[in-house]
Every structure is written in structure tokens, then in C-alpha cells.
Structure 1
């Protein structure tokens, strides 16, 4: 069997389970490569599902999802070329629509090092010219090439002409990418607090937003600001955990979600209430919102008031979201849209067009845009074609624009449009700092965005000084108990000690991009080179301290200290990387498998996975002796057992939204009172070690003498308005 071949400009090496483009190589699961080889042998022809299954998985019963997973792995590896290379034929199979060149043929021609020039050379040189005289041969070749076109050349010429005409026609018929010019970029809420979720009132006279106090960072009030007079109004009487909001068509009523701890939790700690507020009365005096409906066993989010006076929102059951419609008048709800496979990502509503735009992730890992009527009728459905500027696992959150058939979204420092048929274009708009949530004014050429940054530092605290925190009364006293290791005016966090070494790895935005850095307490060095708008979620050292596994843009990358990086191919987005066991190359992850979040153990050698349980796991890790520890959405700690998992009773009141750490069979965590505690798994000993600073974000690592912390310095977010040139 041929073990090396080319697919377009990708070099496939089956012996190494590797795909290489230029100098970038990726490891691909063997079964996925076998699927690619099957398609390559039948290039430009449809290969049925049954034929692929019989060749790749002979004498083995597998589900159709297994083949879909391999196709998704291949598409991820091929990146921007995936949609043009691998074609899906509904209810038939797949085809590989690209030139395939087999390595054996290239070796016979002795042109391995110049493979990209072979096709051009064979088409432009007349192979009938034969001479033993080098000079004569050159002359004859020149004559044949210039004056007597070969058969291939004569065929190519009209094809090239047709191609040029096609390009011209395409450019004439297709609209040009949207170019926006900024006339003004103004801050609307430049305060010491944090502001989010800015929207316009239906008449455009007010901007409504949430304001979080720096002192009470988890709760907020809803405010309004007159766009002409700049006068501000507090709308809600008391603070709450208020989410995004929406106006009724007449602009008189505001609806939003309030989430708080349930009085008597059943299977989730948070209860969700759909609230309403009389906007006109609130402008005169802050009001207490009214409860429309309360959900204790499901999550609800993103209410949107429809023109039919119902409220559309997404509701989650068992990790799967549905788009529902709630009737205020009848006090009942009905399903607008739900999926048997995959999951809903986001939706927006256009009152002007009475239209819903919904993005979803399919079971094959691809994102789709569905355009719906409010009654659920699907008008169109198209796969979203992500350009190279956007990582393959980045979810799309588009909002409507005043431009025909165009939505808009941000990835941070880049703005994009999304057409109703799934095409993405980059907007030519300079952005000097990250923005999010672009919302257009209902009638004018302006839009709201959220801008700002998060500033946190890395601190180290000796465990021997923990007792000093018990008597500390203010920040100046607390600052004597820890030292700042790394700081900038940007985000620094997730610091971890190097196993067996002196380095500390951490992530930072100090270079303008989210990157991985290492320091030896004297000199800091950036070792990653991720593209613009990359977000690093989690990371973990290898046991030998020579590399790290990083969850960046929801895919795993192994990064070495010399900056060499290897992408780990996996068919599904990685939402959280809990822990990496480099010895057997497995990882505990929260993955979005077929669109649904699953707690799984991933074998990085072959990209196979095992579902650990069906609980909503928030954090997890294994002890040195292999015991699985995890927390659920009720902030309870569980330990794996021989028959069933056991709740750790000593930690029932110690859970919080901070992650925990396991070192030497001891669990370390932070409770809701900002106390650092430890629990020894061997002798079941529980201890309160000491109080922690209130500006602590979370603990990130611990060794025999010190603990690493992420300290919150400032969280600056504000509502800004971009005024566009006419």
C-alpha cells in the first residue's frame, strides 16, 4: 500500500499518522487517515458510507457517528480547505474534490523536492520534442513551447479564459465586503464601575445597560442613559444577578433574567427568573421588577421580545438548549425550535423583519446559521464558512444590522459580517482594543459595543504566612503576606510551577495577544505565538517539565519550551481542560461532543474518548494514586468508587466557583468565605489553612512551600458608541 501521498498542498504520511502543510505538521488519528486514504483512492467520485465503513472498519460494527467524527477530524486538520476538499453528499457519502498525487509516482520521476512544479511543467513542455544535442533541444523546446502549443496547452488556454470570465462575473454579481468608516468612537459609561449588555430603546433615545459595582462584583443594577442629554437613571431598586435585556415593541416594558441561589436546591444551585420592569416608571424612580416565571430545574437565558407579544428565550435541559416562546398573556410556553442532534449556540431577533437568526453546532462539529420565523418555520439553513482569521472552534454570536441580509459579530479586535447564506467577510474597521457585542441603532448609522480589559496579576504566597491573614484587616496588611510575581496593565493568570524545575508558566495579554509565558523570577519569555483573538482557557505541565498541554481556542496544543507546537487533532471542541497525564498521554476534559457538553477522558494518542459520567461537572482531577475527584453544578465534591461515586461529606459546605487543586493526594480549595482549606484523601483529614485576600480570583497551583494566586487588580468594561461616517 502507498504510505505517502499529496492531497492538494497537504503531504500525507500514513507511517507517522501525520498531515503536513508547508512546515506545519499535525498528528491525525489512524482511522481518520484511513478514511482520507479511502477517499483519495476514489478522488472526485462519491464513496458511499457503507463502502468507507467496510474498508476502514472491516468486520467491526460501528455507528454512523464514528464516520462523522473522522470526517470532522479531517476537516479540522485541513482547515480553510476542508469545505472545498471534502464534499458531503446527503444520504450518499463523501467525495474528495482535489488533485491527489501518490508518492511512488513522484519518486519514479525524481521530483519529490519539486512536487508543486510538476503539474505546470508537464503542461507547458511539449513531450514530443526529442534530441541528443542539448543546444538543438533547447531551441526546439523553445520553438515548440512558443510557436507550437502542445495539446494540453491548447486545452488549457480556453479553460483559463473561462476562469477569468468567471472571476469577473463573480466580482460583478457578488457584493463587495462591507467597509465601515468610523466618524467617532465615544465612551458612554466611563466610570469606575463595570458596564455590560448595552442596548438601545426601540426609539433610540436611551441606552440601557448593566452596571456592576467594583465592591460587589457579582451583582448589578440596570441603568439607562439619555443619548442626547447624557443624563443617567438607575432603573432597578435593588441589585441582582441580572442578565441581558430586551424591550417590548412599544418600548414600555423591559424583560431580563435574574439568577440567584435557590432557596431549596434540587438539582441545580442557581434558580432563574424571567423578570419584567415598567420602563417609564423606572425612569422617574427605581423600581422592583416583577417575576413572570421561575425555573428551578432548568436554565433560561437571552430573552427577546417578539412582535407577537411573546418572549423568545433559550431553555436548557440535560445540557441541550431549546428555543422557546413564552406567552405573558396566557402564562405558558411552547417550543419554537429544538434539535435532535447538536445544540443551539446563540440567537438574535429583528423586530423590523420579524425574523430570528440562530447559530447552532451540528453533531459533525460544524456551525450552521438558520433563519427562522417566530413560529419556528425554517426559511434557510447554511453551514457557516469560517475564514482563516477565525479559529475553527470559535462560536459565532451574530446580531442583526440595517444592511440587507447581513449580520455582524466580533471576535475581539476584529469585526465580521455574516450573510444569511453563511458567508463571512472581515470589516475594514480599525480596532485598537478588544470590543464585543456590536448592536446597531434602530434608525441611525451608529452601534453600541462593550470595550475595556481585565487586569490581573500573579502572586505567590508562602504557606508559612497563611496564619497572618487571620488578623489582617485591610489590603495594606494583606499585601505583606504575598508578593507579586508578574504584573502588567493586562491580564496575567493561571500560573503553574514547572515539575522538577525553577520555571513558572502563565498566560498573559501583555503583548496585545493572549500568549503563554514562562519566568524564572528574573526574566520572562513568551514561548507561544498564537494568532490574533486567540483565547487560552487552561493549561497543564507534562510530568517531565519540558512541555505543556494548552486549551487554546477550544482545541488542544502541545507546546514545548523551545516554542515548537503540535496541534492535537480531535473532532469536538474542548470546553475545559481539567488535567493532563503526560505519562499515558490522556486528559480529563469537558468536550462538546455532538454539540452537548460531556465529561470525558481523552486518549491523545488516537483521539478516542471515554465518557466518565452524565453529571454536569464543573472541575475535575485525579489524585496521584488514580482517584477521580470532581465537583458538580451544586458545588459538591465527588470521589470515584468501586460501584458508584461517593460524595465527600467533609466538603459539603466548602464548594465555591473557584477551581480546586490536587497535590500528593491532598485537595486544596477556596470556600465561599475566601478561606483556603485542605482535605487529605488518605486519612480524610480536613483543615482550614487560612483566610485569603478578597481580591483573589482563584488559586492556580501549590507546592510544598508556596501557593500561586491570580489577583484581580481592575476589571474595566464600559459601553461605547461607534458613530459611522455617512
Structure 2
């Protein structure tokens, strides 16, 4: 095969990993060039994703996003307009094709008799200056008349004038002017929206003492705040009807006789005008005991679009308020829905979903559920390939906007992502735009948690006043004003590893009780979802941005390429090199054990598993979605009856065949798997987030110091 060839006007030199045009060379990753070369060998033919993956990455497990990144690198090097796709064309759910002329260097040399010195053949500058001639039947030069030239010049001038003075009002970019606070309390606020007339800001406020969320309205002009839901706790997003009269939200409450879930979900409507004057009148529209509902949004004809979770798969339904009936709007048989937003002006729905190929897609629907288009989300290098996003419609023409933390990006209807110039000092939510498109709401704030080491052998219970300062009862091991979490003891050592945002993003840190050291160097907007020490205490396996990385104490790293995003890392057995994980496979979360040398994935079950550990004697213990303890039995998994009411979201630790955990009544307890002995230990503070590790002398906990989130308003420059 020739090591050099032409793609249109671009000279490709595989020996140098370069693409050159007009004397300007760009170095390209070898795998990306291998993709281009394989497409060139099948010029103007559709090459499937599988064929490209097999050809370029043989005997290697990689995600389809790896191929997608190579395509993006090639398009950037070729200076390609992504919408026109003049070189590399995407064929939805099929593959790619190279739609241009290809001239191989050996063909060109053969035509010249093979007389040219080889040294010149490998010089990109000389190759560019002597691009092969066109075939003989195209070699005649067409000479336009001066009248035709004058006409073309005139058309160009007219086009320029028309573009300058008749450009549509849709803007191609947003210019941000300022960011200012809307709320400034010690409470947590979230889920902000505008009323349809733009006169009110509606948001949720979390009342720590009552442990419920309430919906509030704030008048934009008078700044007066009104609590709208005094008798209801809420869950998820709320929505106002287009006429501004009816507020709909989802209330969550404990199910009296739970069948498949701990809470029931009520779809509730409220008279907005009466609620503003302190006379709320609520009505339960729909109740779900065995399925979850989320994110209600008014669409047209007095209908609501709602996400509904049935058998662990989310689908989009249409609920008719007039008829009290529902029907499925959109469902993926081999995938899952993640998020959606609705544009009233265009009467279309944008759905973010996981498809069967493992990629994240943007699916555009009309309000009846008809699919208008479906494209994979083309992440740039700045965004981790498995990051989930929540884009909302924006003033930009055919583009939505989402946040990854401290950065904003736009997302086009065909899946193209572009960075917006608005760096933030703190993570913020995706913006929700005002009806006039000149301002937007977002949530900005910080979460402050600390790690404490507590003696395990404390003989008597501590008096634990409900309002006591948690930091005075449990002195911090690693105090900062930002989020510290996941403290774990080093095996056979004196270090504690933990995650912290003190440097701006989630990173792995270690401490010996006196000095601190940042061990990882993950990029901006990184999120860590679990980590474990190796048995020899010399490295840590980390799930950062849903991918696994092994970090050694000397700072060196080893990355593991899995075919599926990792939702949660539970436990790593470094001796056998296996890890217990929660994976997303075709959009569905599954509990699995992965052998990292392969890597080989063994799905244990398809339940939603909240936490899992293996005991020293090899028994698998896990918490299901209702925080019940299970262990394998001879025929099927069995509930641990003595722990029927002891599970909680605070996780558990398994050491020497003994389970340690904190129940919903804030009681620390232990359970011996061998003797079946349950032992209450002592009361713990209510603000403990997680029990993270235990050794012979102490246990490590994470507790909340403060959690401040506030509504802010982002103004655009006109």
C-alpha cells in the first residue's frame, strides 16, 4: 500500500503522520489516519462502524466514541464544514464514506515511469507543489469570457450586500454580559424556571430541617417571594401551563405498601394565581406506585410530556389533562432516554438518549412523537466521552445549550457540539432561558463536605442532639471549604486517600495526617464515581468520568478501555484484577464484575444495585434499589432477613466477613456473616453522608458541613 496519497487538495503522508495543504502541515494521530486510509481504500462507499473498528483497532475493546473522535479529528484537519460534510459523510446508524477524489502516490509514480527519486517522494512540500495532473479528458482549461467574469463578480457583490443587510435575526453566538444572584439564603435552591409571561421566577427550595422541597415564586419586579406548596414536598421539575394558570409538579412520598419501589410518585396540579395569594388549591392528577415519573413539561393542547420509568427503562409519555389518559410518545426498545426539553415556538422535542451502539444521541421529535432526526452527539475533546448532559433550547438558531460544570456548550440538532465563551468559577446547571431570550436562569453554588476518622471501639453511645454542629462531634481529617469524600485507608500503611474539589475539580488526594498531596491530574469538570486501593497499597483504581484509571503513588497512570461507561465503582480486587461495577449497557444499568486483563465483562444481574462488596471468603453482598441486603443462594439471590430494615443510602463496609453500616435511624451497626449476629453499636449524627471505610481501630465517614445552592440570572448583551 502507498504511504502517501491525495484526498482532494490534501496530501496525506502516513510515514510522517501528516496532512498537508498549501505548504501547511498538521500532525494527525496514527489511528485517525488509519481511519482515513481505510475510507480512502473504499472511496465513496459506506463503511460500517464495525468494519472500521475491526480494521483500525483489531483485538482491542474500544467504544464507538473512539471512532467518532477520530472522525472529528480528521474533519478538523480537513477544514470541513460539518453540515455540508464535503469530505467525510456520516450515514446515520450505518457508518461513514469518503466523498472526494483519491490519488495514490504509487499510481502517480507509475504514470511518470517511476523515474522520480524516492527522497523527493517523501517530502510533503515537494508533493504539494507537484500535485498530480487531472486525467487527460479533463486537462483542457476552460477560459471564461470577460462578460462572464463581470457577471460572477456582480453576483458576489450582491450576495455580500444581501448577507450584510438581510441576515436573519437568529444569532450564531451568544455574548454574555453579566451574572447576578436572584436568591441569597442559607438554603438550597434548584430547578429554576420562568413563568410563560416572564414575570415570575419559580424554583425549589430545600428546607434542611424538614427534609422536603417546596416550590416558591419570585416576582421579577417587586422581588416578593411566595411559597406555593406549603402542604407538598416535591420531586424533579415543575412546569406552568402556557396560559400561566396551572402549575404541575411531581410529589414523592413513602409508599405505605411498597411493591417495587420505596416511594410513590404523584402528578399534582395547582392553581397558580390562587397560590400566589396564599390560597393553594391542589389536585392529584395521576399516581404511580410501581413506576417512577419525572420532568413534566407542558406541550400543546393541554397535554404534558413526562418521563416514565418502567422496568428500569425510561420512556416519554403524553398525558392528557382533559381526558386523564396517557400514551407513549417515544420509546427505545434497545436503549434508554436520559433527558428531554420542549420548544414552544417550534413545537418540537429534543431527547437525549442512549442507543444500542452505546453512544449518546440527540433525537428530534414533533409533539406527536414522530422522529424528525436522530444523530450521535459529537463530543469535542474537552468533554469526557461518557458524560451525560441536560441541554435546553436556547436563542441560538437550531441549537440547545448545556453545562458540563464550569463550561457551557451548544448542541445542534444534528449532534454537533461547540464551546461557548463563559468560564465560571463554580459549577453551574444548564441554563433555562427567559421567553424573550435575553436572559437565563441557572443554579450556582458549592457543596462542603468533610472526612472524619472515628474510633471504632467507643464503649458507650454519644449524646447526639439533632441540631448539634457535626464538625464539633467529628473533627475533620482533611478540612477544606469544598467537597471532600470517599476516604479510604491505605492497606498496611498510614495514608488516607480521598477525593476533593479543593483544586477546582474532582481529584484524588492522599494525606498522612499532616501533609497533603494531589495525586491525580484529571481535566476540568471531572467527576469521580468511586475508588479503591490496591492490596499492596501502592496504587489506586479510580472511576473518573465513567472510565477506569489506575494511579500509582509516583504519579504514573494506566488507563483501562471498557466498552461501556462505568456508573459506579464498588470494589477492586487487585490480586485477581477484578472489579465490581455498575455499567450502562445499551442505556440500561447492569451490575457486573470485570476482569481487567481482558477486559472481560460478566453481568451478575440486571438489578439496580446501589452498593456492593465481596467478603474475605468470597461472598457477594449488595444493596438493591430499595436498600435491601442480598447475598447469593443455592438457586437464587436471597434477602438477609435480619437486615430487612437496616439498609440506607449511607452504603456499607465489609471487613473480615462483618458488615458495618448506618441505618435510616442514624444507628451504626455490625452484622457477622458467619455467626448471623446483629450488633447495634451507637447513634451517629444525621448529617453523615456515607460510611466509606473501616480498619481495626477506626472508621471513616463523610459528613455535610454546608450545602449552598442559589438561583442566579445570566444576562445576554443585546
Same fold (TM over 0.5): yes
What root-mean-square deviation, in Å, do the aligned CA atoms of Structure 1 and Structure 2 show? 3.8
Output aligned runs, 1:441-480, within 5 Å: 441-465=434-458, 467-469=460-462, 471-473=463-465
Q: Is the 8 A contact 1:39 1:47 kept in 2?
A: no
2:550–2:559 contact (8 Å) kept in structure 1: yes
1:322–1:337 CA contact under 8 A, matched in 2: yes
Q: CA, structure 1 residues 481+206, in 2 after alignment: closer, same or farther (shift >3 Å)?
A: closer
CA distance in 2, matches of 1:586, 1:97: 45
Q: Map of 1:676-715 to 2, 5 A cutoff?
A: 676-715=668-707
Do the aligned partners of 2:179 and 2:713 also contact (CA within 8 Å) in 1? Answer: yes
- Matched with 1:178 is 173
| Aligned match of 2:185 | 191
2:295 aligned residue (295, 302, 322): 302
Q: Which runs of 5+ in 1 are unaligned?
A: 1-5, 12-21, 27-32, 57-65, 99-117, 127-144, 159-168
SS in 1 for 2:123: helix
Distance in 2 of aligned mates of 1:325 and 1:546: 54
Aligned length: 644
Q: CA deviation at 1:398?
A: 0.8
Asked if residue 221 in structure 1 is aligned to residue 222 in structure 2, the reply is no
Q: Is 1:201 the equivalent of 2:201?
A: no
Contact 2:171 2:396 in 1 (8 A): no
In 2, the alpha carbon distance for the partners of 1:547 and 1:24 equals 29
Q: Is the 8 A contact 1:495 1:504 kept in 2?
A: yes
Which has the larger displacement, 282-291 or 201-210? 282-291
CA distance in 2, matches of 1:340, 1:635: 28
Shift of 1:343: 1.1
Distance 1:438 1:460, change over 3 A: same
Moved more, 570-579 or 286-295: 286-295
Report if the CA contact (8 A) 1:236-1:288 is conserved.
no
1:511, 1:213 → 2: CA distance? Answer: 29
Q: Find out whether 1:287 has 2:288 as its counterpart.
A: no
Matches within 5 A, 1:666-681: 666-681=658-673
Which residue does 1:387 correspond to in 2?
380
1-structure distance, mates of 2:457, 2:39: 63
- The one of 205, 209, 217 equivalent to 1:211 is 205
Q: Cα gap change, 1:649/1:511 in structure 2, threshold over 3 Å: closer, same or farther? A: same
Distance 1:245 1:425 in 2: 29
Aligned to 2:146: none
Alignment correspondent of 2:308: 315
Match among 549, 552, 558 for residue 557 of structure 1: 549
Structure 1 residue 123: deviation in Å? 3.5
Would the aligned equivalents of 1:579 and 1:620 in 2 still touch at CA under 8 Å? yes
Deviation, 1:403, is: 2.8
After TM superposition, where is structure 1 displaced by more than 4 Å over at least 4 residues in a row?
6-11, 22-26, 35-56, 66-71, 76-80, 82-98, 118-121, 149-155, 171-177, 474-481
TM-score, normalisation: structure 1: 0.81
Match of 2:624 in 1: 632
CA distance, structure 1, for counterparts of residue 280 and residue 611 of structure 2: 38
Q: Quick one: distance in 2 between partners of 1:7 and 1:43? A: 17
Q: Give the equivalent residue in structure 2 for 1:141.
A: none
Alignment partners' CA distance in 2, 1:120 and 1:308: 68
Q: Secondary structure of the equivalent of 2:425?
A: coil
The answer to whether the 8 Å contact 1:518/1:527 transfers is yes
Instruction: Map 1:82-161; keep pairs closer than 5 Å.
Output: 121-125=122-126, 150=130
Paired residues of 2:454 and 2:474 also in contact (CA < 8 A)? yes
Secondary structure of the corresponding residue to residue 425 of structure 1: strand
- For residues 539 and 526 of structure 1, what CA distance do their matches in structure 2 show? 15
> Aligned equivalents of 2:220 and 2:600: distance in 1?
55
Question: Displacement, 1:608?
Answer: 2.2
Aligned to 2:234: 241
Map 1:19-38 → 2, pairs under 5 A? none
> Secondary structure at 1:282's aligned position in 2?
helix
CA contact (8 A) 2:49 2:96 kept: no
Go from structure 1 to structure 2 and tell me whether the alpha carbon gap of 1:485 and 1:153 turns closer, same or farther (over 3 Å shift): farther
Deviates more, 1:415-424 or 1:671-680: 415-424
How much does 1:202 deviate?
A: 0.4
For 2:406, the equivalent position in structure 1 comes to 413
Greater percentage in helix: 1
